[in-house]
Structure 1
């Protein structure tokens, strides 16, 4: 610490005398970043600074003659938060004529905050005033380091104590939080009072020093008397011949709780492994058994001594382990079914679920976990169970479909009623030309057909027989051609034709419309909104039916699996009528064709298809005594053939 110059350097009655410091001292002071000054306080308490060293401007940015003093006696460059304390220290020094400890923050002309520290000694002047000659050293680097260190200590998660002479001399904020004391309450307190139960007086810094360089775990006690496990590291620090200890520790309650839970979990896992009905085996990458449970021992028909260290390939010689990777893929496993080689030669079926896992993250060591299930009995009963499940599943689907159709019928009838009523009212009460009258009639026909379609779906799902009679299919076909022409987008060209003027069959007009509507919608979707829709109504002689049947069967039998010709159920000696719906879309593969009539099967994206359409179509056609077949190939489009027995009946209904 640099102290002000001797009082003898300046006469007591001359406060305006030049610098009290030799030039050499001022040069040294400038090199140290310090400021020399003289302060004067009059008998009535007015403070002034008649002289400051020339380097003031270089340090603070203000020349000495611009260093203003406020009414309380504080320099304007002193930080506002430190002014009262600085003035109080000056006045206390004047009152007691004791040295004044100068410590404050200053704001430079550039707005920078800097710390200054120094000491000055007061002397009385002849006129009753007091003068101080002193130095302020720029202490900014050290103070900033102390602030940063304090911030680091206060934000540390670990508790930090500095001990000297068996007592705490300093502690950080984490120590306050963990132990429940304020910093001033911890300072001066023996460290052994923080240990539960409190150590005897003989426990002092020497006991802590014995743990220097290592970890120690104690039971610590908070201010409220509660205790917690505390892990700490003790280090020695010697300064000016005095020994201090630095204790860094942390509350490890969460760790101990986690360790206890882990231990309990491992215990439960061991019990579960032992009680598991599945065989559980841990094997090395080369197949050597490292661990197994009693269930696997029973399945393998051997004892412990012969299994541990034995290769799993002894029981499953054709097993292929998954390739090892580091780290192993999370949650990735494979499942295989095999026939094990057992000592008793019995034929069994095992299902192995194999998962790779890391046994040591540091060395990338891996093992393979195998869950083994004996599925012999399940395999033997597979065919019967699948049959029963299939029957039950289909029944549940149809039951659900019936409930769904009931709701649909109710809602659609509510919407179709006003449409049908309005269209019929227009037809009766408004004079229309022929073209518009036809359009209104199409609306009426479409509304009636839609109403009948809903009823037909409900009837089909509930296995109710819908009333059918002898009707002429030509008007029904022509009506649908008109409906399709007016509703399908113009990008779809409709090509239609028929080779018969009258085609009587036992059918229901609404159901026929439903079949045509479903097939046309599927064709539209298959063509992605652009292409040619082919609609045809043809009378088939027995020879023509036989040729079509051979064509359908030839295409269907080209796949890998044998298929049944859907037209084989028809009477080969009878004339039939064919309703054909074709498209120029992308076509279907053999595997898709094999499933298109299955309930709930659909090739449309999720949310765009229910898989009910073609299943319903097949049911309607079958109830009419007919059959439906499909002719399709990838890239060649699709054609559906609806074949119904033909009647020769003069009094047939004409349909819509």
Structure 2
């Protein structure tokens, strides 16, 4: 019989059992707590979690698993993983893990929902032992969004690839190390190089030209450094043909990290050829416009000068571009309104307009222009954006026309004076024929009447009146150049000095006399008394013009050569050398209507009793009889100037022909 345990042993055994019971309780509590945590994690997990036995039958599944497949938990636990695997790949992976052929496999499959639709998931699976049995655990994550994103990305890449491949513009993708990553068919067609020849190739690229290699390489390095760039380059094809491209490039980044450069080419070879043709045409046009002797300029619709040829810049200055045409040409602050401006007219009605206008050059001189304006450049809608104005300098023509009018007026006046002279001469001769019997019979009768008688007194009055009439007839004959005077070869300097000496004593001190007599002037064929008479008549008129306010009487004498092509003061003057006697005053002057009449007999502006109106008429007749001419210039308030032209005679000429007529050539 076995020995019974002692009390101490029993007590120890009880203690051990109590400790074991406490440990068991603690372990169970820990296990329950762990189970509780596991269950919370299991049920609240967002991913679907499946537990299955070795046959693949589900033994548990969380709420996410039930919801993802639209099964209740009871329905799901009646199924196996093979029944929800639409691809069979999931079940094959399950078997590999179960049989120890793989661990922690992650794979993608399509699970079949209750309604038959498919759910793409990513499964991570493994096995663990529980109570001596292998339990499979599979965590399935819904990758629908990811699949859609990948598909969208794939479609986007496919679309982008299609765009690049079908782009009419050449496109190239370059890595950071300058190696070529991609070229599209358009670039292959343009360069003649295939993608096989180009992919992976680094700079320098085969389309770079040999002569521009250094510059192109520098441009490329600068462009790569800057990232985004635009530039134009001349390249060559595989066959050597040259072409121009406009390159636009930008860096492509992903998540802030550089990936590659994308460059788009535009073939601008034809554009360059057009530009070259246009540049050549513009050069020819510019050369043509610059070679034209006329002033040419272009204005925009705000009247700014946008182009001008050399002639225009020479006349108005090199800085006229950008300035207003009315400021440059007319020195105005406002446009030439209302509407004489042919530039504005051309903009408005698109027609050709022309006119004659006065402009002021940079030197301040007035120039006459004949201007023609027409639209030049137009925009895409046909609206003119510039007007071209071609202006011809007609200043000399204008002056010639004015000179012609002046000469015609002088000719008409001369012809009128000649007609008046002929008429006056005829009347004077007839009057002389009447006077001779009167004087003769009066003289005869005087011999037969008593001294101191009334008859003698009456006869004396008759003789005095007849002699006055005779003097008047002599003046008229002088005017008509029909009187007889002895002409000699004389120098008129002493006559001028004598006449001025006499005038100086008879005029007030308020009138100054200035004289400039050329002592070297040659001789003329004339009567000294008549020359004296001409000068005194002119000085008397000057004196009368200044007697109220005073002034300056200026007398000059010089020689003047008149050539065949020179502008003549009168068309009757023949080419040759003339003495030019000028008498000027600073008096009240006269207007044009008075100047036309001053050489007419008996015309005078003086009060009654101060003049006969024959002084200038007689002077004109005397000078014309010498083959000379008198010209007058005057304006109201600006004084009057008389120019007397007398033909110079050389002594040999005088010896051969002592009496030159009006239309004979003088030396």
Same fold (TM over 0.5): no
Structure 2 length normalisation: TM-score?
A: 0.34
Structure 1 length normalisation: TM-score?
A: 0.35
